[in-house]
Amino acid sequence: MEKQTRTRESEEFLEDLAEELSVPPSRYEQAERSYKSLGDWLHRDASSVRQYGPKVYVQGSFRLGTTIRPLNEAEEYDVDSVCELQKLGKTSLTQQQLKAMLGGEIEAYRRAQNMSKPLREGRRCWVLDYADGAQFHMDIVPALPNGQAARLLLESRGYDARWTLTAIAITDKKGPTYTTVTDDWPRSNPKGYCEWFKSRMAAALERRKRVLAESMRASVEDIPDYKVRTPLQAAIMILKRHRDHTFEHRGDERPISVIITTLAAHAYKGEETIGEALAVILAGMDQHILWHNNRYWIPNPTDPLENFADKWAEHPERATAFYEWLQKARTEFAEAARSSDRRVITETVGRGVGGSLADRAARRRSPPARSPLLKTASVAPVAGGLSFPDRSRVPTKPQGFGGTE
Protein backbone atom coordinates (compact mmCIF):
# COMPACT_ATOMS: atom_id res chain seq x y z
CA MET A 1 0.00 0.00 0.00
CA GLU A 2 2.53 2.57 -1.18
CA LYS A 3 1.58 6.21 -1.10
CA GLN A 4 1.21 6.55 -4.87
CA THR A 5 -1.29 3.68 -5.04
CA ARG A 6 -3.95 5.50 -3.00
CA THR A 7 -6.49 7.13 -5.26
CA ARG A 8 -8.47 10.26 -4.55
CA GLU A 9 -11.69 8.22 -4.83
CA SER A 10 -10.55 5.73 -2.18
CA GLU A 11 -9.57 8.54 0.20
CA GLU A 12 -12.95 10.20 -0.26
CA PHE A 13 -14.72 6.91 0.38
CA LEU A 14 -12.86 6.44 3.68
CA GLU A 15 -13.79 9.98 4.75
CA ASP A 16 -17.43 9.19 4.04
CA LEU A 17 -17.18 5.81 5.77
CA ALA A 18 -15.81 7.43 8.94
CA GLU A 19 -18.61 9.98 8.80
CA GLU A 20 -21.17 7.20 8.42
CA LEU A 21 -19.75 5.45 11.50
CA SER A 22 -19.76 8.61 13.62
CA VAL A 23 -22.18 8.96 16.45
CA PRO A 24 -24.52 11.95 16.31
CA PRO A 25 -23.56 14.84 18.63
CA SER A 26 -26.91 14.38 20.38
CA ARG A 27 -25.72 10.94 21.58
CA TYR A 28 -22.52 12.42 22.94
CA GLU A 29 -24.49 15.11 24.77
CA GLN A 30 -26.98 12.56 26.09
CA ALA A 31 -24.17 10.45 27.55
CA GLU A 32 -22.47 13.50 29.04
CA ARG A 33 -25.71 14.59 30.71
CA SER A 34 -26.11 11.09 32.15
CA TYR A 35 -22.77 10.82 33.93
CA LYS A 36 -22.89 14.44 35.09
CA SER A 37 -26.36 13.86 36.51
CA LEU A 38 -25.08 10.87 38.50
CA GLY A 39 -22.15 12.98 39.75
CA ASP A 40 -24.56 15.67 40.94
CA TRP A 41 -26.63 13.03 42.75
CA LEU A 42 -23.56 11.77 44.63
CA HIS A 43 -22.84 15.34 45.79
CA ARG A 44 -26.36 16.06 47.09
CA ASP A 45 -26.78 16.85 50.80
CA ALA A 46 -28.17 13.42 51.68
CA SER A 47 -25.44 11.49 49.84
CA SER A 48 -23.66 8.84 51.92
CA VAL A 49 -20.46 9.26 49.86
CA ARG A 50 -20.37 13.04 49.47
CA GLN A 51 -17.60 13.44 52.07
CA TYR A 52 -15.33 11.13 50.05
CA GLY A 53 -15.13 13.49 47.06
CA PRO A 54 -16.95 11.41 44.42
CA LYS A 55 -15.96 12.22 40.83
CA VAL A 56 -17.74 10.61 37.88
CA TYR A 57 -15.99 10.72 34.52
CA VAL A 58 -16.15 8.92 31.22
CA GLN A 59 -13.61 6.33 30.06
CA GLY A 60 -13.09 3.96 27.12
CA SER A 61 -13.71 4.86 23.49
CA PHE A 62 -16.12 7.65 24.39
CA ARG A 63 -13.17 9.38 26.05
CA LEU A 64 -10.81 8.49 23.20
CA GLY A 65 -13.08 9.71 20.40
CA THR A 66 -13.15 6.30 18.69
CA THR A 67 -16.84 5.59 19.17
CA ILE A 68 -18.84 3.96 16.40
CA ARG A 69 -22.53 3.38 15.87
CA PRO A 70 -23.79 -0.07 16.93
CA LEU A 71 -24.03 -2.71 14.20
CA ASN A 72 -27.83 -2.61 14.35
CA GLU A 73 -30.77 -1.04 16.16
CA ALA A 74 -30.92 -3.94 18.63
CA GLU A 75 -27.47 -3.11 20.03
CA GLU A 76 -26.89 -0.36 22.57
CA TYR A 77 -24.34 2.36 23.08
CA ASP A 78 -22.17 1.48 26.04
CA VAL A 79 -21.21 4.51 28.13
CA ASP A 80 -18.22 3.49 30.25
CA SER A 81 -17.67 5.64 33.31
CA VAL A 82 -15.69 5.67 36.54
CA CYS A 83 -16.84 6.84 39.96
CA GLU A 84 -13.68 7.68 41.89
CA LEU A 85 -13.93 8.48 45.61
CA GLN A 86 -10.98 10.85 45.76
CA LYS A 87 -10.73 11.10 49.55
CA LEU A 88 -10.68 7.39 50.39
CA GLY A 89 -7.70 5.02 50.47
CA LYS A 90 -7.40 1.34 49.62
CA THR A 91 -6.73 0.26 53.21
CA SER A 92 -9.90 1.99 54.50
CA LEU A 93 -12.27 -0.70 53.20
CA THR A 94 -12.54 -3.75 50.98
CA GLN A 95 -13.37 -3.72 47.27
CA GLN A 96 -16.63 -5.42 48.17
CA GLN A 97 -17.52 -2.67 50.66
CA LEU A 98 -16.71 0.09 48.16
CA LYS A 99 -18.84 -1.56 45.50
CA ALA A 100 -21.77 -2.08 47.88
CA MET A 101 -21.57 1.50 49.17
CA LEU A 102 -21.64 2.97 45.67
CA GLY A 103 -24.23 0.42 44.56
CA GLY A 104 -26.63 1.68 47.21
CA GLU A 105 -26.27 5.26 45.97
CA ILE A 106 -26.63 4.26 42.30
CA GLU A 107 -29.77 2.27 43.15
CA ALA A 108 -31.21 5.32 44.98
CA TYR A 109 -30.39 7.41 41.90
CA ARG A 110 -32.12 4.88 39.63
CA ARG A 111 -35.28 5.05 41.75
CA ALA A 112 -35.20 8.84 41.95
CA GLN A 113 -34.91 8.97 38.14
CA ASN A 114 -37.86 6.54 37.78
CA MET A 115 -35.73 4.15 35.72
CA SER A 116 -37.79 1.00 35.24
CA LYS A 117 -35.02 -1.48 34.52
CA PRO A 118 -33.25 -2.95 37.57
CA LEU A 119 -29.64 -2.13 38.44
CA ARG A 120 -27.29 -4.87 37.22
CA GLU A 121 -23.98 -5.89 38.75
CA GLY A 122 -21.05 -6.61 36.44
CA ARG A 123 -17.71 -8.09 37.40
CA ARG A 124 -16.10 -4.68 37.91
CA CYS A 125 -19.01 -2.28 37.65
CA TRP A 126 -22.65 -1.43 38.16
CA VAL A 127 -24.79 -1.18 35.03
CA LEU A 128 -27.62 1.35 34.66
CA ASP A 129 -30.02 0.44 31.84
CA TYR A 130 -31.84 3.41 30.39
CA ALA A 131 -35.27 3.26 28.73
CA ASP A 132 -35.61 1.24 25.52
CA GLY A 133 -35.81 4.35 23.35
CA ALA A 134 -32.53 5.70 24.73
CA GLN A 135 -30.56 2.78 23.25
CA PHE A 136 -27.74 2.99 25.78
CA HIS A 137 -26.61 1.80 29.17
CA MET A 138 -23.95 3.13 31.51
CA ASP A 139 -21.29 1.03 33.23
CA ILE A 140 -20.03 2.65 36.43
CA VAL A 141 -16.74 1.34 37.81
CA PRO A 142 -16.14 2.09 41.53
CA ALA A 143 -12.58 3.34 42.05
CA LEU A 144 -10.12 4.92 44.47
CA PRO A 145 -7.01 7.02 43.76
CA ASN A 146 -3.85 4.96 43.18
CA GLY A 147 -1.36 7.36 41.61
CA GLN A 148 1.37 7.22 44.21
CA ALA A 149 1.30 3.43 44.57
CA ALA A 150 1.32 2.96 40.79
CA ARG A 151 4.28 5.31 40.40
CA LEU A 152 6.30 3.55 43.09
CA LEU A 153 5.50 0.13 41.62
CA LEU A 154 6.58 1.04 38.10
CA GLU A 155 9.68 2.95 39.19
CA SER A 156 10.78 0.02 41.35
CA ARG A 157 10.68 -2.19 38.23
CA GLY A 158 12.48 0.37 36.06
CA TYR A 159 9.42 1.31 33.99
CA ASP A 160 8.29 4.71 32.72
CA ALA A 161 5.91 6.14 35.34
CA ARG A 162 5.00 9.40 33.60
CA TRP A 163 1.29 8.53 33.19
CA THR A 164 0.66 7.32 36.74
CA LEU A 165 -0.64 10.54 38.33
CA THR A 166 -4.23 9.61 37.40
CA ALA A 167 -3.99 5.87 38.16
CA ILE A 168 -6.89 4.29 40.03
CA ALA A 169 -7.64 1.12 41.97
CA ILE A 170 -10.80 -0.68 40.88
CA THR A 171 -13.01 -3.50 42.14
CA ASP A 172 -13.16 -7.03 40.70
CA LYS A 173 -15.54 -9.46 42.35
CA LYS A 174 -13.67 -12.43 40.82
CA GLY A 175 -10.32 -11.26 42.15
CA PRO A 176 -8.56 -12.99 45.07
CA THR A 177 -8.51 -9.89 47.31
CA TYR A 178 -12.12 -8.73 46.74
CA THR A 179 -13.24 -9.28 50.34
CA THR A 180 -9.93 -8.43 52.05
CA VAL A 181 -8.67 -5.12 53.41
CA THR A 182 -5.40 -4.84 51.50
CA ASP A 183 -3.24 -2.53 49.44
CA ASP A 184 -3.42 -5.05 46.59
CA TRP A 185 -6.28 -3.93 44.32
CA PRO A 186 -6.70 -4.32 40.55
CA ARG A 187 -5.16 -1.34 38.76
CA SER A 188 -6.42 0.87 35.95
CA ASN A 189 -5.71 4.30 34.48
CA PRO A 190 -8.23 5.38 31.83
CA LYS A 191 -7.28 9.07 32.09
CA GLY A 192 -3.58 8.25 31.69
CA TYR A 193 -4.31 5.98 28.73
CA CYS A 194 -6.27 8.78 27.06
CA GLU A 195 -3.37 11.21 27.59
CA TRP A 196 -0.97 8.67 26.06
CA PHE A 197 -3.35 8.18 23.12
CA LYS A 198 -3.66 11.92 22.56
CA SER A 199 0.16 12.22 22.64
CA ARG A 200 0.29 9.84 19.64
CA MET A 201 -1.84 12.24 17.55
CA ALA A 202 -1.07 15.60 19.19
CA ALA A 203 0.00 17.47 16.03
CA ALA A 204 -2.95 16.23 13.94
CA LEU A 205 -5.40 17.04 16.74
CA GLU A 206 -4.00 20.55 17.17
CA ARG A 207 -4.10 21.26 13.42
CA ARG A 208 -7.72 20.22 13.12
CA LYS A 209 -8.74 22.24 16.15
CA ARG A 210 -7.00 25.29 14.67
CA VAL A 211 -8.82 24.90 11.34
CA LEU A 212 -12.17 24.57 13.10
CA ALA A 213 -11.43 27.49 15.45
CA GLU A 214 -10.59 29.74 12.49
CA SER A 215 -13.77 28.75 10.66
CA MET A 216 -15.82 29.56 13.78
CA ARG A 217 -13.79 32.64 14.71
CA ALA A 218 -13.12 31.01 18.08
CA SER A 219 -9.93 30.28 19.98
CA VAL A 220 -8.35 26.81 19.83
CA GLU A 221 -8.83 26.48 23.60
CA ASP A 222 -12.60 26.79 23.12
CA ILE A 223 -12.77 23.74 20.82
CA PRO A 224 -13.36 20.49 22.76
CA ASP A 225 -11.46 17.45 21.52
CA TYR A 226 -14.64 15.63 20.53
CA LYS A 227 -15.47 18.29 17.92
CA VAL A 228 -12.65 17.10 15.67
CA ARG A 229 -11.54 13.73 14.40
CA THR A 230 -7.96 12.85 13.52
CA PRO A 231 -6.92 10.28 10.89
CA LEU A 232 -5.86 7.98 13.76
CA GLN A 233 -9.31 8.11 15.35
CA ALA A 234 -11.04 7.60 11.99
CA ALA A 235 -8.78 4.66 11.12
CA ILE A 236 -9.51 3.00 14.47
CA MET A 237 -13.26 3.49 13.99
CA ILE A 238 -13.07 1.84 10.56
CA LEU A 239 -10.92 -1.03 11.86
CA LYS A 240 -13.30 -1.63 14.76
CA ARG A 241 -16.27 -1.92 12.41
CA HIS A 242 -14.22 -4.19 10.11
CA ARG A 243 -13.49 -6.32 13.19
CA ASP A 244 -17.17 -6.35 14.26
CA HIS A 245 -18.37 -7.47 10.83
CA THR A 246 -15.61 -10.05 10.39
CA PHE A 247 -16.35 -11.64 13.79
CA GLU A 248 -20.12 -11.15 13.78
CA HIS A 249 -20.62 -14.90 14.31
CA ARG A 250 -17.36 -15.61 16.15
CA GLY A 251 -17.65 -13.22 19.08
CA ASP A 252 -15.34 -15.19 21.37
CA GLU A 253 -12.40 -14.77 18.97
CA ARG A 254 -12.97 -11.08 18.23
CA PRO A 255 -9.91 -8.89 19.02
CA ILE A 256 -10.80 -6.53 21.86
CA SER A 257 -10.98 -2.81 21.16
CA VAL A 258 -8.13 -1.82 23.47
CA ILE A 259 -5.73 -4.09 21.54
CA ILE A 260 -6.69 -2.56 18.18
CA THR A 261 -6.56 0.96 19.65
CA THR A 262 -3.19 0.48 21.34
CA LEU A 263 -1.47 -1.15 18.36
CA ALA A 264 -2.91 1.43 15.96
CA ALA A 265 -1.77 4.35 18.12
CA HIS A 266 1.74 2.87 18.35
CA ALA A 267 1.93 2.39 14.57
CA TYR A 268 0.50 5.80 13.59
CA LYS A 269 3.14 8.34 12.55
CA GLY A 270 1.12 11.52 12.10
CA GLU A 271 -0.31 10.79 8.64
CA GLU A 272 -2.68 13.45 7.35
CA THR A 273 -5.29 11.34 5.54
CA ILE A 274 -7.31 8.34 6.67
CA GLY A 275 -5.97 6.22 3.80
CA GLU A 276 -2.36 6.98 4.70
CA ALA A 277 -3.07 6.34 8.39
CA LEU A 278 -4.76 3.00 7.63
CA ALA A 279 -1.88 1.90 5.41
CA VAL A 280 0.79 2.70 8.00
CA ILE A 281 -1.26 1.24 10.89
CA LEU A 282 -2.07 -2.02 9.10
CA ALA A 283 1.55 -2.41 7.98
CA GLY A 284 2.96 -1.82 11.46
CA MET A 285 0.42 -2.98 14.06
CA ASP A 286 1.88 -6.41 14.64
CA GLN A 287 5.39 -5.01 15.19
CA HIS A 288 4.17 -3.81 18.60
CA ILE A 289 3.07 -7.27 19.77
CA LEU A 290 5.86 -8.56 22.00
CA TRP A 291 6.85 -12.11 22.92
CA HIS A 292 7.61 -12.07 26.64
CA ASN A 293 7.84 -14.92 29.18
CA ASN A 294 6.81 -17.37 26.47
CA ARG A 295 3.57 -15.56 25.69
CA TYR A 296 2.19 -12.74 23.56
CA TRP A 297 2.46 -9.41 25.35
CA ILE A 298 0.76 -6.13 24.44
CA PRO A 299 1.66 -3.86 27.36
CA ASN A 300 -0.68 -1.20 28.64
CA PRO A 301 1.34 1.96 27.74
CA THR A 302 0.48 3.49 31.14
CA ASP A 303 1.22 0.31 33.13
CA PRO A 304 3.61 -2.06 31.30
CA LEU A 305 3.00 -4.74 33.94
CA GLU A 306 -0.49 -5.18 32.49
CA ASN A 307 -0.81 -7.29 29.35
CA PHE A 308 -3.80 -6.49 27.14
CA ALA A 309 -3.26 -9.85 25.39
CA ASP A 310 -3.26 -11.85 28.62
CA LYS A 311 -6.20 -14.00 27.45
CA TRP A 312 -4.29 -15.14 24.34
CA ALA A 313 -2.24 -17.61 26.41
CA GLU A 314 -5.30 -19.60 27.53
CA HIS A 315 -7.16 -18.95 24.26
CA PRO A 316 -4.51 -19.30 21.51
CA GLU A 317 -7.29 -19.19 18.89
CA ARG A 318 -7.64 -15.46 19.70
CA ALA A 319 -4.07 -14.77 18.65
CA THR A 320 -4.63 -16.77 15.46
CA ALA A 321 -7.85 -14.86 14.82
CA PHE A 322 -6.10 -11.51 15.28
CA TYR A 323 -3.45 -12.29 12.66
CA GLU A 324 -6.07 -13.66 10.25
CA TRP A 325 -8.14 -10.50 10.67
CA LEU A 326 -5.08 -8.26 10.19
CA GLN A 327 -4.20 -9.99 6.93
CA LYS A 328 -7.79 -9.73 5.68
CA ALA A 329 -7.88 -6.00 6.49
CA ARG A 330 -4.51 -5.42 4.78
CA THR A 331 -5.67 -7.17 1.61
CA GLU A 332 -9.06 -5.45 1.37
CA PHE A 333 -7.97 -1.91 2.16
CA ALA A 334 -4.94 -2.18 -0.15
CA GLU A 335 -7.17 -3.37 -3.00
CA ALA A 336 -9.64 -0.52 -2.41
CA ALA A 337 -6.82 2.05 -2.18
CA ARG A 338 -5.54 1.19 -5.67
CA SER A 339 -8.93 1.61 -7.36
CA SER A 340 -10.47 4.70 -8.91
CA ASP A 341 -13.74 2.86 -9.54
CA ARG A 342 -16.23 3.78 -6.85
CA ARG A 343 -18.18 0.56 -7.37
CA VAL A 344 -15.04 -1.54 -6.84
CA ILE A 345 -14.07 0.47 -3.75
CA THR A 346 -17.55 0.10 -2.26
CA GLU A 347 -17.68 -3.64 -2.90
CA THR A 348 -14.15 -4.29 -1.66
CA VAL A 349 -14.48 -2.35 1.60
CA GLY A 350 -18.02 -3.70 1.96
CA ARG A 351 -16.65 -7.23 2.25
CA GLY A 352 -14.99 -6.19 5.50
CA VAL A 353 -17.33 -3.61 7.03
CA GLY A 354 -20.68 -4.81 5.68
CA GLY A 355 -22.34 -4.09 2.34
CA SER A 356 -25.13 -1.87 3.65
CA LEU A 357 -22.70 0.39 5.56
CA ALA A 358 -20.42 0.64 2.52
CA ASP A 359 -23.41 1.51 0.31
CA ARG A 360 -24.50 4.26 2.71
CA ALA A 361 -20.97 5.68 2.71
CA ALA A 362 -20.93 5.61 -1.11
CA ARG A 363 -24.24 7.47 -1.28
CA ARG A 364 -23.04 10.33 0.94
CA ARG A 365 -21.36 12.03 -2.02
CA SER A 366 -23.87 11.19 -4.75
CA PRO A 367 -26.32 13.73 -6.19
CA PRO A 368 -29.93 12.70 -5.41
CA ALA A 369 -30.89 11.98 -9.01
CA ARG A 370 -27.97 9.72 -9.88
CA SER A 371 -26.61 6.39 -8.76
CA PRO A 372 -23.78 6.67 -6.19
CA LEU A 373 -21.72 4.42 -8.46
CA LEU A 374 -21.85 6.88 -11.34
CA LYS A 375 -21.06 10.06 -9.54
CA THR A 376 -17.87 12.05 -9.69
CA ALA A 377 -17.12 13.28 -6.20
CA SER A 378 -15.52 16.49 -5.10
CA VAL A 379 -12.22 16.39 -3.30
CA ALA A 380 -12.57 15.81 0.42
CA PRO A 381 -10.82 18.40 2.58
CA VAL A 382 -7.72 17.16 4.36
CA ALA A 383 -9.29 18.10 7.67
CA GLY A 384 -12.50 16.30 6.77
CA GLY A 385 -14.67 14.97 9.55
CA LEU A 386 -14.42 17.97 11.82
CA SER A 387 -17.75 17.03 13.31
CA PHE A 388 -16.54 14.32 15.66
CA PRO A 389 -18.99 13.30 18.29
CA ASP A 390 -19.72 10.48 20.60
CA ARG A 391 -19.30 7.08 21.96
CA SER A 392 -18.78 3.60 20.82
CA ARG A 393 -19.79 0.27 22.09
CA VAL A 394 -16.83 -1.71 23.35
CA PRO A 395 -17.78 -5.27 22.47
CA THR A 396 -15.45 -6.85 25.01
CA LYS A 397 -14.33 -4.92 28.04
CA PRO A 398 -10.55 -4.87 28.18
CA GLN A 399 -9.16 -5.77 31.54
CA GLY A 400 -7.83 -2.68 33.22
CA PHE A 401 -10.49 -0.48 31.70
CA GLY A 402 -13.13 -1.60 34.15
CA GLY A 403 -16.66 -2.56 33.26
CA THR A 404 -18.40 -5.84 32.62
CA GLU A 405 -16.78 -8.89 31.14
Name the band, by pLDDT with cuts 50, 70 and 90, for residue 374: very low
| Average pLDDT, rounded, for the chain | 88
Q: What is the pLDDT of residue 227?
A: 82
173, 206: one domain: no
Of residues 273 and 393, the one with the higher pLDDT is 273
Mean pLDDT of 238-262: 95
116, 232: one domain: no
Exposure string of 347-360, with b = 16+ CB inside 10 Å and e = fewer, is bbbbbbbbeebbeb
Backbone angles phi, psi at 398, to 5 degrees: -70, 140
pTM (predicted TM-score): 0.87
Instruction: Name which of 254, 279, 230, 288 is nearest 1 in CA terms.
Output: 279
Name the band, by pLDDT with cuts 50, 70 and 90, for residue 403: very low
Name the band, by pLDDT with cuts 50, 70 and 90, for residue 4: low
Q: What is the pLDDT of residue 367?
A: 63
Q: For residues 302 and 306, give the distance between their C-alpha atoms in angstroms, rounded to a whole number.
A: 9
135, 170, 191: which is the final residue of a domain? 191
Q: What is the pLDDT of residue 239?
A: 98
Burial class (CB in 10 A: 0-12, 13-18, 19+), 16: buried
309, 216: one domain: yes
Domain around 112: 25-191
138, 168, 191: which is the final residue of a domain? 191
pLDDT per position as a tens digit, 81-99 = 999 999 999 999 999 999 9
**Is the per-residue pLDDT at 246 higher than 80?**
yes
Q: For residues 75 and 124, give the distance between their C-alpha atoms in angstroms, rounded to a whole number.
A: 21
148, 253: one domain: no
pLDDT per position as a tens digit, 336-353 = 999 999 999 999 999 999
